[in-house]
Structure 1
Amino acid sequence: MARDPETIEREIEQARTALAATLDQLGTKANPQKLADQAKNGIRAKLDDPKVKYPLIGVGALILALLVRKLFR
């Protein structure tokens, strides 16, 4: 059963519109700047957690103390 050309053209246009919307969404989600900002915000949030923050400060202080000790030895 043959389909009417106008119906086929309308379906093609609908498919194009849907594809364009999908590509726009993917472009927004895959924006490198947005991904970098999300990663940076995630790391900041993790570093603000006291369970991570204070051990890192302790390790940094230990490394600094060892470096100072080695320099003045």
Structure 2
Amino acid sequence: MARDPETIERDIEKARTALAATLDELGTKANPKVLVESAKSSVRSTLENPKVKYPLIGAGVLIVALLVRKLFR
């Protein structure tokens, strides 16, 4: 079954438009600024979790106490 040239051109134009939209979306997702902001928000949300936050605070206090103890010995 042969297709007429106008139908083929419309299909090509649709494919071209879809490809352009996909490339734009990939460009946006791969933008370094977007990746950095995503990483920052992920780290912030992880650190706001009490199961992570309080052990880190405890470890920091322990390290500071050990450093102070070593300095004044």
Give TM-score, length-normalised by structure 2. 0.87
Identity fraction in percent: 75
**1:56 is matched with which residue?**
56
Does residue 10 (structure 1) correspond to residue 14 (structure 2)? The answer is: no
- Structure 2 stretches of 5 or more lacking a match? none
Range that drifts further, 5-14 or 55-64: 5-14
> Distance in 1 between the 2:44 and 2:14 partners?
43
- Structure 1 stretches of 5 or more lacking a match? none
**1:44 is matched with which residue?**
44
Q: Deviations over 1:11-47 (max 9, x none)?
A: 1111100100111111122221111111111111111
**1:20 is matched with which residue?**
20
Runs of 4+, deviation exceeding 3 Å = none
Q: How many residues align?
A: 73
Q: One-letter code of the match for 2:23?
A: L
Give TM-score, length-normalised by structure 1. 0.87
